[in-house]
Amino acid sequence: MSKIEHFHAPETSPSAAPLSPAVRAGDFVFVSGQVPVMDDGSVAAHDIETQTTQVMRNIEKALKLAGCEMADVCKTTAWLHDARDFGRFNKAYSAFFTPGKFPARTTSEAKLMINILVEIEAVAYKPL
């Protein structure tokens, strides 16, 4: 039996991309890079705060599939389309964590795969 579990939302069709939204390996849960796509498949409004909020909601959903919550997140990696959005991104991002208990994070500017402003992946620690 594999010690790695792959999680997918049962109510959604599989992603066209070859990935699992969340994967548990031992006590760690890895959340694939989340983009600002809403439940209906459309992309959230084209502003950094709205898109960051949607991405963080998508991370919450992926974590929940594996029995985790935002408080379990120990590391995130974020890619911004435009580094000038950094301050507004931080404002929306920080709302999802307890002040003073933010995960470690790396943020960089990158050309993203689709016409979006932000993508974020997460790692959570939740002992079995």
- Residue-wise pLDDT for 89-104, tens only, equals 999 999 999 999 999 9
Which one has a higher pLDDT value, 6 or 89?
A: 89
pLDDT of residue 111: 96
Please check the confidence at residue 1 and state whether its pLDDT lies above 70. Answer: no
Q: Which amino acid is at 59?
A: I
Domains of the chain: 4-125 (3.30.1330.40)
Please check the confidence at residue 8 and state whether its pLDDT lies above 70. Answer: yes
Over residues 57-69, mean pLDDT: 97
What DSSP assignment string belongs to 25-65? ETTEEEEEEE-SB-TTSPBPPSSHHHHHHHHHHHHHHHHHH
Token digits for 72? 């379990």
